[in-house]
Amino acid sequence: LIALRGERPDTAVSLHAGNSADVAQRVLGHEADLGFVEGLSVPDGLDSAVIGQDRLVVAVAPTHPWARRSKGVQAAELASTPLILRERGSGTRQVLDAALATAGGLAAPLLELASTTAVKA
């Protein structure tokens, strides 16, 4: 955004952070010209282009029992464990829900938070 502003100083640029569902609704409602989201689907009425990919990982405190494992956590164990998650409507949550659907789906969350920064904290 800073580079754009430098190249085109008369361009009005603003940033609104929100989950994927919120971003899609803002673009569909003509409140935003462009949105960046993650997830598995594109809402009707929007076009998309993949510009990058992320990898979801399990993060635990150094004292958590999973931190001392030499092998990863199996899907069924992850699915049955209450986790700190992004809220419904986020692309991250959509991807995790889909990934664990065949393992019985997610357990009731320990916490649901509205930003990745909050989840990591």
Q: Considering the entire predicted model, what is its pTM?
A: 0.75
So what's the pLDDT on residue 54?
A: 86
pLDDT at 39 over 90: no
15 confidence band (pLDDT: 50, 70, 90): confident
**Alpha helices, H only, the chain:** 2-7, 20-28, 75-80, 91-100, 116-120
User: Taking the mean position of all CA atoms in its chain, how far away is CA 1?
Assistant: 21
Q: Please give the C-alpha separations between residue 55 and each of 6, 78, 108, in angstroms, as whole numbers.
A: 32, 16, 23
So what's the pLDDT on residue 27?
A: 96
For the chain, give the longest Cα–Cα distance.
54
Token pair 């399990």: residue: 58
What tens digit of pLDDT does each residue of 64-118 get?
Answer: 999 999 888 999 999 999 999 999 888 889 999 999 999 999 999 999 998 888 9
